[in-house]
Amino acid sequence: MKFPGQQEHEKIEFLVRKHWIVDVKIMLLIFTLYLLPAMFFLSALIIYWPDFFGAWSGPITTAFLIYLLFAGLGLYIKWLSEELDLMVVTNLRIINLDQVGFMERTVSEASLMQIQDVKGIEKGLLNNILNYGSLQIRTAADKVVFHIDDIPYPFRTARDILALMDKMGANTNPS
């Protein structure tokens, strides 16, 4: 696999993507913002307003459809923001692609030699049961360069990055 800006002799070791629980959270949002109001609207239409198709049917239906349109747009932007977050770990560097907003994306990178600290974090019962959490990577500047939430196996990912750093250090140190 290749990516734009890939250096010579650089190969992708692994990709870090979001855990599947993020998709479940978005599905719950869809249910809450889309299906519950639609069921309420239809039940009110059938049970409480038998003469609903009178004078107010057009404006109420139009307002409801506009609500569904904006709810769908918001959910799509949320899904896109979560789906496009990605961390590429190569044998030379780490590249973090962070989808901040709908039309806003940041790309950060750091050499494996610049990294000082890699920390995996799992908080809460669900995180520990399903093995997902956050990953923080600090450089020599002592600020968090990369932070990605809701990734699977954050401790294993941190260990894998540290192992790559050790491997790279062994290849560059003349002994």
The answer to whether 118 touches 135, Cβ cutoff 8 Å, is yes
Structural domain tally of the chain?
Answer: 2
Shared domain for 56 and 121, answered yes or no, is no
**Per-residue pLDDT tens digits for 125-154:** 999 999 999 999 998 776 667 889 999 999
Show the tokens assigned to 96: 């973090």
Residues found in the chain: 175
C-alpha distances (whole Å) from 66 to each of 41, 45, 60, 80, 150 are 13, 17, 10, 21, 32
In which domain, by residue range, is 94 found?
12-19+85-170
Shared domain for 54 and 124, answered yes or no, is no
- Write out the DSSP string of 91-108: SSEEEEEEEEETTEEEEE
**Per-residue pLDDT tens digits for 48-100:** 666 665 666 677 778 888 988 998 898 898 889 889 999 999 999 999 999 88
Shared domain for 54 and 108, answered yes or no, is no
